[in-house]
Amino acid sequence: MILAAGLGTRMRPLTDTIPKPLVQVGGKPLLQYCLDALKPISIDKAVINVHYLPDQIISYLNALPEQDLKISISDERDQLLDSGGGIINALDQIGIDPFLLLNADTFWLDDRTMHHDNLTALTTMFDKDAMDILLMVVPISNTTGHQGAGDFTMDEQGRLERFRAQDDDAIIYAGAAILSPKIFDDISDKKFSLNKCFDNAIENGRLFGYQMKGHWITVGTMAAIDEAEISIKKHSVI
């Protein structure tokens, strides 16, 4: 599933007329980075949620060249459901197996010198017997556009805990994860943040992290577009 329903309010006035997932960075829309990231792995279906200016996103997807990836839409026009609620709303399309989750406003530059694909590594690492959620994470020092403190710390086994102010090895969630649908079984809220599921998994010792290789970029403001494009050129991947 790709989360693409956000309002993009911090990117106004640009997002007054275009949804954030279609904002161009480095010559292509943010959403296309997600779709391109799926190509090296065996994903044949993607569910994309929409809310703000949804027809533009749907038109973009319909205009894509014919591909093996089947895309379906989870429509949130009537109510924006936040990250957790948006997933629950789409579970009938996702199914009962663990699934990959991507954020449409973040992307990463794989370390091509190592011939390394981060989503391949993420999916390979997931262990449904030990994990409810596996997050792709990255050290703050290896990011562009991030503002604020860390999200988590990770132990030698890859288990995650929430970042505390005194920790000096903070990492952040890099906008890609594998989740087991069972994490939503006991949640009755219609609208809620996925952070609720992260905290539940931490409490049960079942939130793990995979530390990506390469450079991570988030585009949350107008200024972040220029920062992202400078970073792309610096890392010479497109």
Q: For residue range 41-71, what is the model confidence (pLDDT) as tens digits? A: 988 899 999 999 999 999 999 999 877 889 9
Q: What is the mean pLDDT of residues 12-41?
A: 91
Is pLDDT at 235 greater than 90 in this prediction? no
Note the pLDDT tens digit of each residue in 189-217.
Answer: 999 999 999 999 999 999 999 999 988 98
Tens of pLDDT, residues 147-159: 777 889 899 999 9
Over 70: is that where the pLDDT of 166 sits? no
SS (H, E, C) 39-92: CCCCCCEEEEEECCCHHHHHHHHHCCCCCCCEEEEEECCCCCCHHHHHHHHHHH
CA-based nearest residue to 35, from 67, 13, 75: 67
Ordered domains of the chain (ranges, CATH):
2-235 (3.90.550.10)
pLDDT of residue 237: 47
Nearest to residue 71, comparing CAs of 102, 110, 112?
Answer: 102
- pLDDT for 71: 94
pLDDT of residue 88: 96
CA pair distance 235, 39, nearest whole angstrom: 21
Q: In the prediction, which pLDDT does 115 show? A: 66
pLDDT at residue 23, rounded to an integer: 92
pLDDT value at position 189?
A: 92
For residues 9-35, give the mean pLDDT.
91
Give residue 180's pLDDT. 96
The secondary structure element, H or E, covering residue 211 is strand 207-211
pLDDT surpasses 70 at 168:
no
For residues 48 and 100, the answer to whether their CB atoms sit within 8 Å is no
pLDDT tens string 67-112: 788 999 999 999 999 999 999 999 999 999 999 999 998 899 887 6
Using pLDDT thresholds of 50, 70 and 90, give the confidence band for residue 238: very low
**Which whole-number Å values give the CA distances from 149 to 55, 74, 78, in the listed order?**
35, 32, 33
Average model confidence (pLDDT) across the chain: 90
**Can you tell me the distance from the alpha carbon of 21 to that of 66, in angstroms, rounded to the nearest whole number?**
20
What is the predicted pLDDT for the residue at 34? 93
What's the pLDDT score for residue 236? 59
Contact 4, 69 (CB under 8 A): no
For residue 164, pLDDT over 80 is answered with no
Mean pLDDT of all residues in 29-39:
93
Q: What percent of the chain has pLDDT over 70?
A: 95
